[in-house]
Structure 1
Amino acid sequence: MRNCFRLCLVLLLATAALSLCAEPSPVVDVSNLALPAGTAAVVDSRLKQAVGEVEIVVRLGDVPLAVAQGEGAKRSGGRLTRVQQREHVSQLSRKHDELMQAVRAMDGHEIARLTKALNAVIMSVDASRVSAIAGLPNVVSIRPVGVYQLDLSETVPYIGAKTVQAAGFKGDGVTVAVLDTGIDYTHKEFGGPGTVDAYAAAYGADSSDPKNTTTDGLFPTAKVIGGFDFVGEVWPDGDLAPDPDPIDFNGHGTHVADIIGGAKGVAPGVKLYAVKVCSSTASSCNGVALLQAMDFILDPNGDGDISDAVDVVNLSLGSAYGQREDDLSEATANAVRLGVIVVAAAGNEANHPYIVSSPSTTPEVISVAQTQVPSAKRFPLVINSPAEITGHYLNTETIGWAPIVSGFTGDIVFVGRGCPADAVKPGDPEDPYLANPAGKVALIDRGGCAVSLKVDRAAKAGAIGVLLGLVAPGDPISFAFGGGDTFVETLVITKDVADSIKTQLAHSMAVNVTISPTVFVPLIGSMVASSARGPSYSYNAIKPDIGAPGASVSAEVGTGDGATAFGGTSGATPMVAGSAALLIQAYPKRAAMEIKTLLMNTAERDMQTDPALFPGVLAPITRIAGGEVRVDKALKSTTAAWDADDSTGSLSFGYHALSRDAAFSKRVTVRNYANRSRRYAISSQFRYAADTATGAVTVDAPPAVLVPANGSAQFDFRLKVKASKLPIWKLNGGSLGGAGSSLEAAEFDGYLTLVESSDTVHLPWQILPHRAADVEVLTDNLQLDREGKGTLILRNNRGAVDGRVDVFSLTGTSPRIKKKFLPGPGDNFAIIDLRSVGARLVGIGGGEFGIQFAISTFGQRSHPNYPAEFDVFIDNNLDGEFDFALFNSELGGFGASGQNVVSVVNLKDGTVTPEFFTDADLNSANAILTAPLADLGLTPDTQFSFTVVAFDNYFTGAPTDLIEGMVYTARRPRWECPAAARPRRLKPASC
């Protein structure tokens, strides 16, 4: 049979602007990108540049002590003696002195020095001085200080911890640092006096009481053996005020510490370090404090010798869309390399692609997802009347501090937002109730203030129950306690259901509902909807790594011996940290990577997404990875397996745009801890039968591997991808940017399993293959004939799918930024490097015109939400002043929706309105921004000038590149491709 191909020719006519026909060519219609009605709202603009005093992290060239000491030094011994360690720190300190001498001459102020986890000085300085500091000797990077967000009797036995404790392993001799809001070390669960008076003696009467800044002989204790407060009691409403007393006020850290190592915790034998890095009054965690804390936990006694570094660090905090340039990520990676196990929350931003938080996205760190507790139930909202909306509505969520116990039946009244006085901010009046909730079920909108304060007000007004209605699309989530003392049973419902109820009430229809404690769907063995999804942004790797039940009843700050409900990935993370502590006691010589791998290898794989809404549907690998932690199985296992190159218990093949067939390979290390050689049978399973059925991805591994006693062996695990059989790519970063279900349709995943008579271990694997075109332009130059026309040939003869072709007038280009100026891991800034800009006239529906700006960069982004923002500044009358701008951002704010949208801002009055979804793909270097011409003060025949500025919208908010001085007339471009010759789809070659 002869091989053949057809060359696809497309005629693109280029016509000089002076010879344009009177009748313009029809424009492309992009009305499908318009935001749905009701989506647009006034939002804040991020068009400001840093001015005035800024806090920055200045990194120096020499390696920090953790790196100098060598890989695995915590357990196997390091390169440096105690004297050499102290000398290394002294050398770093001398260079810090030299740096600060120069900085003080610029009126800079030192905040902190780091020598163990990072080699850096944190300082405050006027923004105008930053470039001068960058030119000082030994300075390798400067970045702003980051801010992060805070994210038992039933759960401890469920994960196998009681079994491990009964075997004699309770975490004895293991130290765990809790980087959080502090610990109430007076609480009974930590061996304290267990009285309210004891807490008052430690904390004092209020935040200004000096008792909470001094140890007063009450701290440290036999259980909480050390720590430090790097924040103080007033930040972020005031300056950082470090002190030696890490007593908790917020309560978050006390809950976390109790789950790890309280009397009823996972590892009750551990010793705790209380390291306060988060606010007493807000959910923020200070970047300066976190970096100082990472230095502290590597040398708790501060003698310059890091042999006393803690064994485990718990970080129930993070920042969504985690980036590798985050400096906390670099610090945690260095700690793990030393031998410290770092466990961090994946985040509570739900099933949105790439939203999993840093520092948990750091490859070395254990990233923890949240799963349901064994007793979790889904209580449906049963609408009894009116007939138009009767039925069982299963997409609901309960709240730990207002659980469904007896249930209720009643008529609904809509009371509005329902915030009490002083709840939004001090001095604000209460929201007026739209109806009296006495004897009724109160429907309350989310937003404005803590949900617990809304429920407290409704309960005191006589409501028999509360329905909390979401005000934005998405699945219901649970809510943390935020104050109040009187509650009624509460159920969270979706925006769609809440709107349906409101519509009926607006038509004077009585809406009667029932919530019954006997009508439910068990949720054991499934994900919590709010648990964040991977893959990791910077590495396109499997994250989270493992899951754990996140809802526990644990120690409540200031009560002496009280306990309250606590949840989220903040509650799941300490379950895994405690599990790691148990394994460290059992296997003190094993590396941090081996402990992480054991936990992943032996976790429970059969986890569902949501048994109520999707019965029997398994959770994807990029939500649960190894599975739900089972520490008893990890303890029992005498086998571990990991990626030989990436040193983790998963096999991440990453993202690949494939226009033709491809093959990928991973090397797997198998470690046999037994005193006999063993033969392991090898098999691989797809997560979903539908993926197997496509034939697009096939797996190949040897049938078995023989591993010597107390030794290791390796084998190759291969994937082959047939591009033509891959599903058509339906993902995008605009309307589907937050659609986890669309990611599931594109990715292929499963488990590689090794079985021996006494052990079964598994490694999750995943690949994200994108069936792609391979469109090529066959010439760099275009010759025009006497009529000003020319032919440009495109071809897609090697593509696996039709190639999309969009034609724009090229308006500007920019050279590539040199590599030496680009950030690396831990640099805490991003560079958005513009490549080219184009423009075109489009139709936006209803006979109206819009304009699109196509922006291409050097370097791709996993998701268009971050770290790139593109601002197009418009001078619509050529007077030299910008009148309007359009920019892209995440709809609803940071971590809210996953959807990227284009907003127009009126630069005269500051009004900002979202208009269209951004036309951008995942893992792409391109973005198309759309705006109505009328909203920019333009017509198709208006000549205008514009400038495009690229911003780092994740770390610094600073501009990183621009293309300026471009001039354009939408209906009269200099060169035009008439509609008849304008391709939209370029088919692959065929025989």
Structure 2
Amino acid sequence: MKTNFSKVLFSFIAFVLIFSTFSFGASANGGKQSQIQMTELPLAEIFGDIELSSKRPTSVIVELKAESIVEAKQKGKKQTKAALKTERGKVINELKKSVKNADVNREYDYVFSGFSVELAANEIIKLAAIPGVKAVYPNVHYTADVISAEEIPQEAFSPEMMNSAPFIGSDEAWEAGFTGEGVTVAVIDTGVDYTHPDLVHAFDDYKGYDFVDDDTDPQEGAGQYHGTHVSGTVAANGAIKGVAPNATLLGYRVLGANGGTTEDVVAGIELAVQDGADVMNLSLGNSLNNPDWATSIALDWAMAEGVVAVTSNGNAGPNNWTVGSPGTSRDAISVGATRLPYKVYTSEISTTEGVEYPSAKVMGFPSDEQLLSLNEGEYEFVYVGLGAESDFEGKDLNGKIALISRGDFAFVDKAQNAKDAGAVGAIIFNNVAGEQPDVPGMAVPTIKTTLADGQKLLAELEAGNDEISFNIAFNKDVDETMADFSSRGPVTHTWMIKPDVSAPGVNIVSTFPGEGYAALQGTSMSSPHVAGAAALLLQKNPEWETENVKAALMNTAVDVIDPATGEGYAHNTQGAGSIRLVEALNTTTLVAPGSHSFGKFVKDSGKQVEKQSFEIKNLSNERKNYSFDVEFAGTPEGIKVTTSKNLKVQPGKSQQVNFNVQVDTSKMEPGYYEGSITVSDGKQTIEVPSILFVGEPDYPRVTGAFMDKESEGNYFVGAYLPGGAEVLEYDLYVFNPNGSIGGFVDTLGSFENAPVPYHEFEWDGTVQNGIDLPNGDWVLAVYVEKEGVTEYKAYLVTKE
């Protein structure tokens, strides 16, 4: 496969210049030298690795040099909608002159200045050359993902199921008179069923906007439920109560059945600000760990305009660097997911006497009662392969146990399929050596085993021994923990700590379209807890700026302890900790920002100094004397922080605190270091999470791969690259039916200097000697070199 030279060339020049006219001198015959002046025509910056040589229709977001209304306002300038319309008109007119088929869709002016447009990718260079264009961004796809969803039958529902709001202190806040009254929360999501009896009180005549169908009815689409569930966690007030039960809601439908794109998300943010929202919740995201430029700009200016923006951190944990946008935003409050306190059980399974299964452990369960009910007798167990819906066809699972192999799709989907087939429990065995993770909230009680024990169970079935019994017993109580699925930081490029805070996100019961209720889990469920908390803080402190709300939540969060170590989870797992409403409402000091990243210290040797600062706000009616202490884990010799020993701040006043961080790289091993800044007034102590890197951070060089069919014999193959790549190669392997990787097929492409955040190239669907690759599942392995670090990761793709 030859490298697409024009693509590589244009990807490079898109960041610099489009062309120059060259200067030549003629003096060989001694005649007068003529001179032609060189002229450089600058381009707007083009973000993302867009296939600039392709004729494929491509949707992009265009940012103008003319500042948005809010940006100009924050800079002390005056900007008007009319002036921006004129500036946009000039650019759009020039675009339509130079590009025949350019379809402008959305136009923005309030928190983002620009428009969205669809045009052939090879025409984007012309767009970037138009005067007045500042930047061009990819129109990224967003989803409203949850880890699992289970609708609760009316006869099984009880109000006590909504226990997450009281856990963070909502009921105590209500008793103190803070219920969100007078505060408006915008839910930017899949729409909302505003007719639900627990939500109808929260909506006025104007309910929001539907950007999917372009009308003023944000009713959730058929088969969708995400936005209704999120809305209930914020402001339900009926059979269950949300965190802010008297808040007003506005719904903005930006995600349809297949998700949505940046152009509608930005439009939703912009309209929510214009409609007067005080808080906005975005329980949506994508997998790119990189500031999603257009959305990030909109969120940053929404925060500057006084709207508290809260967003989910993502469900791609537990590894570091898995946070996706808009959780990567600089200013919005990004939220990780915790699991409420729970009980731990031991598990034994028995078939034929003498056959032992020492690896059997509880993976997850819907309730303690259902788990313990497995002790009540013997059950027939049935092997259903990978546990897909089709694997249950023609098999009687009613009242039985489903034996399932790991592989292909999520554990929670396997358990849900087992429940739908009538099974009362499931056993999932690994398909490789080692132990599988725990997955809270499974649809049926589920036991996990190793591959070896799974093969024993299969052998038992082969021998005709299909009866199994369980011995499940209580072991211990576990306090609040971080959910394994919750995405971790840091953020690439900014190196910021994310999430900012955490909140309950496992088995969260809330409203479901119609008159129902459902238990969902994901950081999508954590985020609205924080949005509701922000509403209560604004009710008590209507004059607060957004940074005060964020600081109050971060400063008063409690450390979440990892039961495996007995110590707090890493900063990039939990942020500042799990939110606590009463403490946030009653705080007398604010420290902002609520976390610090000192970035990279990359000197080969010697000392590097970075300056930082934070602001202390004394909310009390008395003068306070603050002391400071900075400590990094392990007290490494090469890190030195200098700051004030103490500081007096008058009541109701604020003061800036400056400090220097000095790192002697000659005394430090490369890597990630975390610490904390402790601020104390003698009564209240605030821990400010802090991190830094010595050397180039260890972010993943590749986070995903894809193979998309454009037309017959025309495919787009690519990879997600958070930091770009100096060397990039795509290798194709056989995917075996048992889930393993088979033989090498061909190298589809090799490239150099691929930019962030993703790379793609055209492929004709053939491999060695021009053979057409058969349709089906294949393994696409991506080799990346960047900053002296290499990675080789394999992904399952489908050729259609």
TM norm structure 2: 0.75
Match of 2:310 in 1: 343
Q: Given the alignment, which residue of 708, 712, 726 partners 2:650?
A: 708
Kindly indicate whether the alpha-carbon contact (under 8 Å) linking 2:411 and 2:439 is maintained by their aligned counterparts in 1: no
Task: Report the counterpart of residue 683 of structure 1 in structure 2.
Answer: 629
SS in 2 for 1:522: strand
1:671 to 1:517, Cα distance in 2 relative to 1, 3 A: farther
1:294 matched to which residue of 2? 269
1:265 corresponds to which letter in structure 2? G
Q: Which has the larger radius of gyration?
A: 1
Gaps of 5+ in 2: 1-49, 146-160, 698-719, 730-743, 796-800
Does the 8 Å CA contact 1:103/1:109 hold for their aligned counterparts?
no
Correspondence list, 1:476-515, <5 A = 476=437, 478=439, 489-491=444-446, 493=448, 496=451, 504-505=459-460, 508=463
Give the 3 Å change call, closer, same or farther, for CA 595–567 of structure 1 in structure 2: same
The within-5 A match list for 1:350-369 is: 350-369=317-336
Residue among 596, 599, 613 paired with 1:667: 613
Deviation string, structure 1 residues 879-933 (Cα, Å, up to 9, x no partner):
xx9986xxxxxxxxxxxxxxxxxxxx88643479658774646xx27658799xx
Residues 701 and 438 from structure 1, CA distance in 2 versus in 1: closer, same or farther, beyond 3 angstroms? same
Match in the other structure for 2:67: 63
- Quote the residue 1:754 is aligned against: 679
1:748-827 matches, cutoff 5 A: 748-770=673-695
2:281–2:528: 8 Å Cα contact kept in structure 1?
A: yes
The residue number in structure 2 matching 1:328 is 295
**2:167 partner letter:** Y
Following TM superposition, by how much is the alpha carbon of 1:521 offset from its aligned partner in structure 2, in angstroms?
Answer: 4.2
CA contact (8 A) 1:723 1:771 kept: no
Cα deviation digits, residues 150-173 of structure 1 (max 9, x gap): 136311121122222221111111
Equivalent residues of 1:856, 1:926 under 8 A apart: no
Match of 1:909 among 754, 767, 772: 772
Paired residues of 2:188 and 2:254 also in contact (CA < 8 A)? yes
Residue 280 of structure 2: which of 309, 313, 316 is its match? Answer: 313
CA–CA distance in structure 2, aligned partners of residues 115 and 402 of structure 1: 55
> Aligned to 1:564, what secondary structure does the other structure show?
strand
Report 1:183-194 matches (<5 A): 183-191=192-200
Change (3 A) 1:394 1:707: farther
Residue 6 (structure 2) aligns with: none
Q: Aligned partner of 1:230: which letter? A: F
Unaligned runs of 5+ in 1: 1-45, 72-77, 193-220, 232-240, 301-308, 421-429, 482-486, 643-647, 730-745, 773-828, 839-847, 860-865, 874-880, 885-904, 932-952, 954-991
Match of 2:384 among 405, 411, 415: 415
Q: Deviations over 1:669-713 (max 9, x none)?
A: 211112221112323455x5xx34x64545555443222222223
For 1:228, the equivalent position in structure 2 comes to 209
User: Structure 2 vs 1, CA of residues 158 and 455 (structure 1 numbering), >3 Å: closer, same or farther?
Assistant: closer
Corresponding residue to 1:649 among 590, 594, 603: 594
Number of the residue aligned with 1:256: 230
* CA spacing shift, 1:449–1:659, aligned 2, 3 Å: closer
Counterpart of 2:348, as a letter, is V
The amino acid across from 1:277 in the alignment is: V
Q: Is the 8 A contact 1:601 1:763 kept in 2?
A: yes
Query: What is the aligned partner in structure 2 of residue 819 from structure 1?
Result: none
- The 5-angstrom pairing of residues 154-233 of structure 1 reads 154-191=163-200, 222=203, 225-231=206-212
Residue number in structure 1 paired with 2:143: 149
Q: Which residue of 1 aligns with 2:561?
A: 608
Select which of 403, 416, 421 maps to 1:443: 403
SS in 2 for 1:594: helix
Q: Distance in 1 between matches of 2:529 and 2:724?
A: 42
In structure 2, relative to structure 1, the CA distance for the partners of 1:751 and 1:712 (3 Å cut) is: same
Determine which of 93, 103, 123 is the counterpart of 1:109: 103
Distance across 2 between alignment mates of 1:753 and 1:589: 27
Query: Which of 501, 523, 527 is the matching residue for 1:569?
Result: 523
Query: 2:295 is paired with a residue of what secondary structure?
Result: helix
Aligned partner (choices 589, 611, 616) of residue 639 of structure 1: 589
Instruction: Mark the CA change 1:882 to 1:500 in structure 2 (over 3 Å): closer, same or farther.
Output: closer
Alpha-carbon separation, structure 2, partners of 1:61 and 1:334: 15
Structure 1 residues 462, 324: closer, same or farther in 2, change over 3 A? Answer: closer
Partner of 1:466: 426
Matches within 5 A, 1:873-952: 908-910=771-773, 918=783, 920=785, 924=787, 927=790
Q: Corresponding residue for 1:123?
A: 117
1:209 is aligned to: none
2:31 is equivalent to residue 89 of structure 1: no
Distance of aligned partners of 1:433 and 1:495 in 2 relative to their CA distance in 1, 3 Å threshold: farther
Q: What is the SS of the residue equivalent to 1:556?
A: strand
Distance in 2 (alpha carbons) for counterparts of 1:292 and 1:585: 27
Partner SS for 1:129: helix
Name the CA distance, whole Å, in 2 between partners of 1:658 and 1:433.
62
Match of 1:140 in 2: 134
Match of 1:265 in 2: 242
CA contact (8 A) 1:445 1:470 kept: yes
- Count residues with an aligned counterpart: 680
TM superposition shift of 1:753? 1.7
Matches within 5 A, 1:571-590: 571-590=525-544
What's the offset of the Cα at 1:338? Answer: 1.5
**Given that residues 415 and 436 in structure 1 are in contact (C-alpha distance below 8 angstroms), is that contact kept between their aligned partners in structure 2?**
no
Change (3 A) 1:252 1:870: closer
Q: Which residue of 1 aligns with 2:255?
A: 278
- For the structure 1 residues 929 and 187, does the alpha-carbon distance in structure 2 shift closer, same or farther, using more than 3 Å as the test? closer
**Which has a greater percent of strand?**
2
Read off the aligned partner of 2:626 and give its amino acid letter: Y
Q: Write the deviation string for residues 371-412 of structure 1: whole angstroms up to 9, x where unpaired.
A: 1113x3444543446767533555723458996363346464
Contact 2:313 2:487 in 1 (8 A): yes
Which digits, 9 at most, give the CA deviation of each residue in 1:55-92, with x for residues without a partner? 22222221111212217xxxxxx865xxxx6xx11111
2:639–2:664 CA contact under 8 A, matched in 1: yes
Shift of 1:247: 0.9
Instruction: Tell me the TM-score normalized by structure 1.
Output: 0.61
Amino acid in structure 2 at the alignment position of 1:359: P
Deviation of the 1:119 alpha carbon: 1.3
Matched-pair contact (CA < 8 Å) for 1:724–1:771: no
* Contact 1:411–1:513, Cα closer than 8 Å, also in 2: yes
Q: Name the amino acid aligned to 1:762.
A: E
What RMSD, in angstroms, separates the aligned Cα atoms of the two structures? 4.1
1:369 touches 1:547 (CA, 8 Å); kept in 2?
yes
C-alpha displacement of 1:252: 0.6
Helix, strand or coil at the partner of 1:244: coil
User: Structure with the greater relative contact order (CA < 8 A, sep ≥ 6): 1 or 2?
Assistant: 1
| Alignment partner of 2:757 out of 867, 882, 890 | 867
- Residues 243 and 681 (structure 1), Cα distance of their counterparts in 2 relative to 1, 3 Å cut: same
Query: In structure 2, what residue type is equivalent to 1:909?
Result: D
Q: Secondary structure at the match of 2:483?
A: coil
Q: Pick the aligned partner of 1:98 from 67, 90, 97.
A: 90
CA distance in 2, matches of 1:638, 1:380: 45
Name the SS of the counterpart of 2:198 in structure 1. Answer: helix
What does the per-residue CA deviation read over 1:528-557, in whole Å, with 9 as the maximum and x for residues that have no partner?
Answer: 000001101221111111000113544433
Where 1:391 maps in the other structure, the secondary structure is: coil
**Residue deviations 1:704-743 (CA, integer Å, cap 9, x gap):** 322222222333445454546545x6xxxxxxxxxxxxxx
User: 579, 599, 609: which one pairs with 1:629?
Assistant: 579
Task: Rate the CA distance shift 1:331–1:395 in 2: closer, same or farther, 3 A.
Answer: farther
Which residue in 2 is equivalent to 1:54? 58
The structural deviation recorded for 1:655 is 3.2
